[in-house]
Copies of this chain bind each other. A is one copy, B any other.
Amino acid sequence: MTVKEPTYLQIASQKRAERDQNFKKEWLIPKSELPDLTDVSDWITSSGYLSAKEIEITESNAGEIVENISNQVWSSFEVTLAFCHRASIVHQLTNCLSEVFFDEGLKQAMELDEYQKATGKTLGPLHGLPISIKDNFNIKGQASTVGIVNFSFNPKKKFEEDAVLVKMLRELGGVFYVKTNVPVAMMMPETTNHIYGNTTNPLNRNLSAGGSSGGEVALLACKGSPTGVGTDIGGSLRIPASFTNVYTLKPTFGRFPTYGARSGLPGLESVNSVNGPLCPSLETMEFYCKHLIGHEPWLYDAKVNEIPWRKVELDSKLNIAILEDDKVVRPTPPILRGVNIVKEGLLKAGHEVIEWEPTDHLELSKIITSFFTSDGGIHVKRETETTGEPFFPYMRMYGTTPEMKVSELWALQARRTSLIKDYLERWNATKLKTKNGKPIDAIIMPATPFAGSPNSKFHDYVGYTSPFNLLDYTVGVFPVTRADQDIDLKEARGLFYGETDEKIWGDYNPQETHGGAVSLQLIGRKYQEEKVIEMMKLVRDLIS
């Protein structure tokens, strides 16, 4: 490996400086006035840096924002300005932003105001809604570094075209103003890289924001954006959302447009990256999905399937399967408590709860890892070796796994196809177990073993999330509660499922995790995005 000049450190420093220039000086809080709190989520509104109107705007749901702009209560410009200001503060607290382009966002907002003034109508159903977006979505005039130093100034002139999702959201009236930080190649469960460093968790800054959509959730959790977009190929929406009590929806591939996003593993199709909304509320999530799909993404992206947004009515009594512990890594106490809260809530409301076995989860999660590294890490290594940036420990397998032959890949794909058929049949067969003779509506289970984990203590176990990428099921993540050092005491355990289980048990520290997020996954069948949102609403109302 030849380290070329300028070294990766120099390039990274240059790129970081370029980003930092784009913050507005008048909004920057002097270091001495920044809080020394672990939980900074409430500090922003109490600190006095935001005006009452800025707070009112930034605490609103997407639908309310658009309605107030449409009714000329607020201008698109002042809405974007408020979110730029709040995002700037959130960034100082969590290091969540990768690309900062407030001026472009404000210009776009101004144009929307002019359009509205000139025509008397709004451009589309998202007219004036600021949208934050994960670093990998190409935006005209911005970089997509995806946490790789070599992409800092590559392409040199930045991207010339918006990703399809960005283009569509703009046509609907969405306003872009920031991109958010990710780990290297978006293939780590914590958000850190050699360009921007680590994004911290605003609920407890001793904990990681998770990854790979970590910048996005840190911003969202502090309402520096009314709605955001992340991606998920093994848990990258769900892990960070569950670490910050932000709602997310990992759709089935083919529901939302994916073309024009920079991939860490370009050309990989054995498992597909999907994107989905990250939102402070389910109302905002539904608003986003309905309008995006209403804009017929299948006419924009060749891989989107023509499935309109459908109205769903839930049965009055649902059948819910619960998986508490996957028998590979036992969740830590706050998560087990969260599962129990939801279970009790469901039972109390008269829904049927059955147990779910993690059959084949381990094999599914091993296969997905093999897919990730099936090119022997060649694509990632090519980019990192160009500048000499070293791998973080989580990325080590991309440097050590030998490249697979296509015949081996075919065999693995055939095995996966068989496993996903078996899973579907197990789901269908639950009708033999339920009282009403209908199969389960959803599985509820942890997204990770953690209520947030400190940096470098994730131990790379994504077995709670990654099986559902291979299965391609619709998965929502919803908040339940927060970790409490006085309740979530360390379990006494002598027997362990294995080494990772023991390490994670060993690491668990109720004091360290205090205040961390307790969120769970709600898993529906493929293409059940509407139903998953409705079920999350139901669960939210049961436990609130």
Contact surface of A with B, Cβ cutoff 8 Å: 254, 259, 265-270, 298-303, 305-307, 374-376, 378-379, 403-407, 409-414, 417, 420-421, 423-424, 428, 471-472, 525-527
Which single residue of chain B is at the shortest CB-CB distance from A371? B406
In the complex, the answer to whether B267 meets A412 with C-beta atoms within 8 Å is: yes
Q: How far is the CB of A253 from chain B (nearest CB, A)?
A: 10
The chain B residue with its CB closest to the CB of A528 is B306
Nearest CB of B to A524, in Å: 11
A410 touches B266 (CB 8 A): yes
A491 vs B508: C-alpha distance in the bound complex, in angstroms? 81
A431 to B185, CA, bound (A): 39
Given contacts A305-B527, A307-B307, A379-B410, 16 further A-B contacts (CB under 8 A): A267-B410, A267-B412, A267-B413, A268-B410, A269-B269, A269-B410, A298-B525, A302-B526, A303-B417, A305-B305, A305-B307, A306-B307, A306-B526, A378-B407, A404-B406, A405-B405
> How far is it, in angstroms, between the C-alpha of A198 and the C-alpha of B473 when the chains are bound?
44
User: Quick one: closest B residue to A259, CB to CB?
Assistant: B421
Contact flag A409-B409 (CB < 8 Å), given A269-B269, A269-B270, A298-B526: yes
| Neighbouring B residues of A405 by C-beta, 8 Å | 375, 403-406
Contact B375–A407 (Cβ < 8 Å) = yes
Nearest CB of chain B from residue A386's CB, rounded to whole Å: 16
Bound Cα distance A305, B305 (Å): 8
Structural contact, B407 and A403, CB atoms closer than 8 A: yes
Given A269-B413, A305-B305, A407-B421 contact (CB < 8 Å): no
A420: which B residues are within 8 A, CB to CB? 302-303
Per assembly, the copies of the chain total: 2
A302 touches B423 (CB 8 A): yes
CB atoms of B302 and A421 under 8 A apart: yes
Q: Which residues of B contact A305 (CB under 8 A)?
A: 254, 305, 307, 526-527
Chain A at the B interface: mostly helix, strand, loop or mixed?
Answer: loop
CA A414 – CA B263 in complex, angstroms?
10
Question: A264 CA to B171 CA in the complex, in Å?
Answer: 45
Provide the bound-state CA to CA distance between A379 and B424, in Å.
Answer: 28
Q: Which residue of B lies closest to A373 (CB)?
A: B406
Task: Give the chain B neighbours of A306 by CB distance below 8 A.
Answer: 307, 526-527
CB distance from A427 to the nearest CB of B (A): 9
Question: What CA separation (Å) do A302 and B423 show in the bound complex?
Answer: 9
Asked if A411 meets B298 with Cβ closer than 8 Å, knowing A403-B405, A406-B375, the reply is no
Contact of A406 among B302, B374, B417 (CB under 8 A): B374
Q: Name the B residues within 8 Å of A303 (CB-CB).
A: 417, 420
Q: How far is the CA of A424 from the CA of B374 in the complex (A)?
A: 30
CA distance A327 to B306 in the complex (A): 32
Q: Given the complex, which residues of B lie within 8 Å of A300, measured CB to CB? A: 424
Find the residue from A299, A406, A410 having the highest chain B CB count within 10 A.
A406
CA distance A303 to B472 in the complex (A): 9
Question: Complex Cα distance A266/B428, Å?
Answer: 26
Q: Which residue of B lies closest to A415 (CB)?
A: B267
Q: List 19 A-B contacts (CB under 8 A).
A: A259-B417, A259-B421, A267-B410, A267-B412, A268-B410, A269-B270, A269-B413, A298-B525, A299-B428, A301-B421, A302-B420, A302-B421, A302-B423, A302-B472, A305-B527, A375-B405, A375-B406, A406-B406, A406-B409
On whether the beta carbons of B267 and A414 are closer than 8 Å, the reply is: yes
Please measure, in the bound complex, the distance between the C-alpha atom of A20 and the C-alpha atom of B207, giving whole angstroms.
72
Query: What's the least CB distance linking A238 to chain B, in Å?
Result: 20
With A403-B405, A403-B406, A407-B376 given, is the CB distance from A414 to B302 under 8 Å?
no
Which B-chain residue is minimally distant from A428 (CB atoms)? Answer: B299
Counting chain B CB atoms within 10 Å of each CB, the highest count among A265, A270, A409, A527 belongs to A409
A259 to B420, CA, bound (A): 11
Contact B409 A302 (CB under 8 A): no
Question: Separation in Å of the A210 CB from the closest CB of chain B?
Answer: 27
CA gap between A526 and B527 in the complex, in Å: 17
Residue contact B404 to A266, C-beta cutoff 8 Å: no
In the bound complex, residues from chain B placing their C-beta under 8 Å from that of A379 are 407, 410
Q: Taking each of A405, A423, A527, which has the highest tally of chain B beta carbons within 10 Å of its own beta carbon?
A: A405
Bound together, the chains give a CA A525 to CA B268 distance in angstroms of 25
Bound together, the chains give a CA A301 to CA B525 distance in angstroms of: 12
User: What is the distance, in angstroms, from A378's C-beta to the closest C-beta of chain B?
Assistant: 4
CB <8 Å contact, A424 and B302: yes
A265 to B406: give the CA distance in the assembly, Å.
Answer: 12
